[in-house]
């Protein structure tokens, strides 16, 4: 498995995640629910698709609102290496639709100068 700790990552939405199985990705979304054990988070990606995020250790703090997940794509899941949360006010004003359009635009360019192997 590739580690994303020091390398480049591809920004994806829920639909594009399937194309990046085993590869480093960044997924932005809104937290929907956290399992009681704190080991998984369900996130609605920028395109509205529900994505399960597997954590490497249980959450210590409450997680809600806008979140950016850095990890490894695993189909409709992401194995999380790190994540960034944003203040609730930022999440409520973040234009998720515009962000998703940017993701789609990045992936529509051929050849894609942002894609790495």
Give the CATH number for residue 89.
2.40.50.140
Q: Is residue 100 part of a domain?
A: yes
Closest CA to 41 of 84, 81, 77: 77
- For residue 91, name the pLDDT band (cuts at 50, 70, 90): confident
More confident residue, 39 or 2: 39
Residue 1 has pLDDT above 50, yes or no: no
Q: Is residue 113 part of a domain?
A: no
Is 10 within 8 Å of 23 (Cβ atoms)? Answer: yes
In the chain, the number of structural domains is 1
Q: Is residue 76 part of a domain?
A: yes
How far, rounded to the nearest angstrom, does the alpha carbon of residue 40 sit from its chain's CA centroid? Answer: 13
Q: Is residue 115 part of a domain?
A: no
Helix, strand, or coil (residue 57): coil
Q: Is residue 91 part of a domain?
A: yes
Q: Provide the residue range defining the domain that includes 63.
A: 10-105
Q: Is residue 82 part of a domain?
A: yes
pLDDT at 85: 94
Average confidence (pLDDT) over 9-22: 94
Q: Is residue 116 part of a domain?
A: no
Average confidence (pLDDT) over 92-117: 83
Q: Is residue 20 part of a domain?
A: yes
Residues in contact with 14: Cβ distance below 8 Å, sequence separation at least 6, in sequence order: 27, 29, 45, 46, 47, 48, 49, 50, 51, 76
**What pTM value is reported for the model?**
0.87
Strand ranges (E), the chain: 10-12, 24-34, 40-45, 50-54, 66-74, 77-85
């Amino acid at each position: 498995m590739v580690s994303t700790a020091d390398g480049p990552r591809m920004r994806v939405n829920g639909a594009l995640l399937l194309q990046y199985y085993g590869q480093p990705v960044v997924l932005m979304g809104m937290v929907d629910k956290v399992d009681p054990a704190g080991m998984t988070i369900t996130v609605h990606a920028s395109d509205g698709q529900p994505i399960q995020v597997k954590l490497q250790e249980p959450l210590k703090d409450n997680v809600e609102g806008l979140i950016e997940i850095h990890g490894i794509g695993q189909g409709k899941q992401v194995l999380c290496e790190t994540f960034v949360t944003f203040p609730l006010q930022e999440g409520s004003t973040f234009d998720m639709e515009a962000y998703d359009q940017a993701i789609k635009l990045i992936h529509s360019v051929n050849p894609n100068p942002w894609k790495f192997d």
